[in-house]
Amino acid sequence: MDRETIGTDRVRLRLFRDSDIDNLMAGCNDSLTRRFLPHLSAPYTEADAHWWISEGTTGVWARGGAAYAIADPVTDRLIGGIGVDHVVLARCQGEVGYWVAPWARGRGVATAATRALADRALSQGFARLELLTEQENVASQRVALASGFRREGTRRDAGTRPDGSRHDLLAWSRLATDADTPQARILADLPGGALTDGVVTLRPLTAADGDFVYDLHCLPDVIAASMSTVAPTRADVARRCLLAPARWLAGERADLLILDAASGDPAGEIALYLQESQPGEAMIGYAVAPQWRGYGYPGRATRLLARWVFDHTGIQRLTAGTAPTNLRSQRALEKSGFQREGRERGRLVGSTGRRVDALRYGLLPQDLDLDSR
């Protein structure tokens, strides 16, 4: 790649300068920057900044990559860094990496810089660009999608930490033949970040919800109604909550907390599960804490979720299953417009290990009539 400045209305990509040292130090000592760039020197000193500007960037360019400062297009102040490294010349391939200073976040800087750099690299000989993100770094995953990168899968143990431990990374790619447009998502964001009917509110699950979700799914009746019929471990629940935003972005599933709208207290959980083998269809499941039962929360939550699904995704059929003895769940589904479609013999594993039947329900857009229910 050439070293010419790349300009857009939001960012300017230029070479690093000695005048960037103070801002480079401040950005690289930021806790969030360090969280996702764990191999930076701690603390990041003036000597480290001098080395990067004089030697580090030179090495990247010499390897066939690129190392740009992200600068404000008006003031020219350093607001981040971006580049292409880990170049494989024989494959015309490189890996994009970036960071944004705390004083410039929330302005679309990373997306503007990534799109500009990818456009330049793919027009100057690169056939394929990769981008790796940590599973909990949802902001970076949004940048990848908005910059035209497609999620390809999980690189197992591809990441390393300073202590030598390893962890998985999500792999994204953009090809020279790909359209320069954001990648479409199966599951959109909730309008305003939540759904509510004034009685219950649904919001996306977060890492902070782990304790409530763990206690909920350790209840005997919730365990009995689950597919596994085994209590989850606290670590398993914590990981599911941590990765819930990434799975939503990937279009795999949407996990939401059911809240009492008046108090804001958590009352239960509802989830939407997608399967590649069933295009245009998804399954829902829910659980409500004992103290919130009897108020119709499952039905309200199901109607809210179903309306959003039918109005804002390409999904046009929802399914749900319940044990024949779970009359409460059957009533909730029927009040939400679901229709019983049949009985699946041996669908579930009972508490004794023997397989038990399940009732199958289905919901189509025309079945959902909020005004009459």
Neighbours of 162 (CB within 10 A): 9
The number of helices, as runs of H, and strands, as runs of E, in the chain is 11, 16
For residue 174, the cross-strand partners are: 129
Q: Average pLDDT in the 22-28 region?
A: 98
Distance of CA 289 to the CA centre of its chain: 26
What does R_g of the chain's alpha carbons equal in angstroms?
24
Separation between Cα atoms, residue 58 and residue 67, nearest integer Å:
8
pLDDT digits (tens, 9 = 90+) for 172-185: 999 999 998 999 99
Q: Average pLDDT in the 207-211 region?
A: 96
pLDDT (0 to 100) of residue 109: 98
How would you class 261 by CB atoms within 10 Å of its CB: exposed for 0-12, middle for 13-18, buried for 19 or more?
A: middle
pLDDT (0 to 100) of residue 277: 72
Q: Average pLDDT in the 12-39 region?
A: 97
pLDDT digits (tens, 9 = 90+) for 52-77: 999 999 999 999 999 999 999 999 99
pLDDT digits (tens, 9 = 90+) for 233-279: 999 999 999 999 999 999 999 999 999 999 999 999 999 999 777 78
What pTM did the predictor assign? Answer: 0.87
Q: Considering the chain, what percentage of its residues have pLDDT values greater than 70?
A: 97
pLDDT digits (tens, 9 = 90+) for 325-368: 888 899 999 989 999 999 988 877 666 667 888 899 999 999 98
Give the contacts of 74 (CB within 8 A, at least 6 positions apart): none
* Better pLDDT: 225 or 85: 85
Q: How confident is the model at residue 370 (pLDDT cuts 50, 70, 90)?
A: very low
pLDDT (0 to 100) of residue 352: 64
Q: Average pLDDT in the 198-225 region?
A: 93
Amino acid at 67: A
* 181 three-state secondary structure: coil
Could you give all domains of the chain from N- to C-terminal order, each with its CATH number?
6-175 (3.40.630.30), 191-372 (3.40.630.30)
Q: 117, 131 in Cβ contact below 8 A?
A: no
Give the position of tokens 């989850």: 232
Separation between Cα atoms, residue 159 and residue 142, nearest integer Å:
19
Separation between Cα atoms, residue 223 and residue 305, nearest integer Å:
23
pLDDT (0 to 100) of residue 350: 65
Q: What are the φ/ψ torsions at residue 342 (nearest 5 degrees)?
A: 160, -175
DSSP 47-109: HHHHHIIIIIHHHHHHTT-EEEEEE-TTT--EEEEEEEEEEEGGGTEEEEEEEE-GGGTTSSH
Q: 273, 320 in Cβ contact below 8 A?
A: no
Q: 34, 42 in Cβ contact below 8 A?
A: yes
Helix (H) or strand (E) holding 168: strand 166-175
pLDDT (0 to 100) of residue 326: 87
Neighbours of 353 (CB within 10 A): 7
pLDDT digits (tens, 9 = 90+) for 90-144: 999 999 999 999 999 999 999 999 999 999 999 999 999 999 999 999 999 999 9
Q: How confident is the model at residue 228 (pLDDT cuts 50, 70, 90)?
A: low
pLDDT (0 to 100) of residue 323: 85
State both tokens at 72. 């404000």
